Amino acid sequence: MSHRPIYLDNHATTPVDERVLAAMLPYFTEHFGNPSSINHIYGWETEAAVKKSREILAQAINATPEEIVFTSGATEANNLAIKGVAEAYFQKGQHIITVATEHNAVLDPCKYLQTLGFEITILPVQTDGLIDLTQLEKAFRPDTILVSVIAANNEIGVLQPLAEIGAMCRERGVIFHSDAAQAIGKIPLDVQAMQIDLMSFTAHKVYGPKGIGALYVRRRNPRVQLAAQQHGGGHERGMRSGTLYTPQIIGFGKAVEIALQAQATENQYLTQLRQRLWEQLSQLEGIHLNGHPTQRLAGNLNISIEGVDGAALLLGLQSVMAVSSGSACSSATTAPSHVLTALGHTEQLAYASLRFGIGRFNTAEEIDQVAQHTISTVQSLRKQKILL
């Protein structure tokens, strides 16, 4: 068997936990009914299983099960939230606020809305990746209908101050949406305490299956209206039509349940691995930590390295480790990471960056091997003067 690289790209996706897979399998063959078929046992048993997963997701964020709308993933959830609010509230206002370091699944829907006449304010971030709340306060206008701020950044792992943002939005009667694709199951989330009105998540970032996500939609205090973006049979309270993908939903619930049970101990473990990796890599000269040093996901380490070509660096690492230089969703593009340039990096430094996504199944021995190979590769490239 050929040697496979050490997987450290857990922000792109995670392997499905064996316990999650075991929970899913019966719903492909034995319990295969349509949850909307309410006249027989096949539908009843899948409806009950879907209900349980909905309850798990709701409890994870302190919501009610009726406020969970299943989607195909976080991208669809973000589109439903942003376009759905824009269409439902356009008579109230056509101004939306978001942040320069958002995932493209937020930025692109906003750009699309600009073509329809909406005005989008894109806030900059500070050098540590956090937004300036004073700038947010100044950005509000009488016609602002939505603020969208990511919970945990998919590249640099920075955790934004959701509760403070939520309080500012609630005070002004503005809907607050947060993309929590990287945050669900990893950090405490409470839509009541944080005053969040819409929240997107996905299963495959938390050791669940790909192809399933959800959108939390607040039902009271205030009740949020959304215009459906996909029409059909009126599923999910009319917000997202389509037969529910029962096995994926079961896997989603199980993955979040496991993550919540292990959250504290897992975060402690991942933080130790991250510090172990950083302590070794920081011996290199000209290395920069991207994002706030502590207000970040436990398993995230994003660095930029002076004096090396980014493409040559990735090529030199790929036999030993699977890492990325930015978001997996935009890795096919030749442009530097918009997240890193928003931090003030030059194009050269943004290109010569590595995102280490440390996960549940990584070990200290793997971290040491990755650190040693990264250091030797950088030193070799500098010696060869393979510069940008």
Q: How far apart (Å, rounded) are the C-alpha atoms in residues 222 and 180?
A: 20
Cis peptide, bond prior to residue 336, ω within 30 of zero: no
Q: Which of 22, 163, 329, 387 is catalytic?
A: 329
Which residue is it, tokens 């309270």?
Answer: 237
The answer to whether 110 is a known catalytic residue is no
Q: Please name which of 259, 192, 236, 260 lies closest in space to residue 54, comparing C-alpha atoms.
A: 236
Asked whether the beta carbons of 201 and 316 are under 8 A apart, the reply is no
Residue type, 375: I
Q: If 0-12 CB within 10 Å is exposed, 13-18 middle and 19+ buried, where does residue 67 land?
A: buried
The residues pairing with 95 across neighbouring beta strands, listed in sequence order, are 119, 144
Tokens 């495959």 found at:
204
Cα separation, 179 vs 194, in Å, equals 14
Contacts of 278 (CB under 8 A, 6+ apart): 289, 301
* CA distances to 272, 292, 364 from 268, in Å: 6, 18, 13
- Within 5-123, residue ranges assigned H as helices are 18-24, 26-29, 41-61, 74-89, 104-114
Q: Are 216 and 68 spatial neighbours (Cβ–Cβ below 8 Å)?
A: yes
Which tokens hold the place of 242? 């389509």
Catalytic (active-site) positions: 329
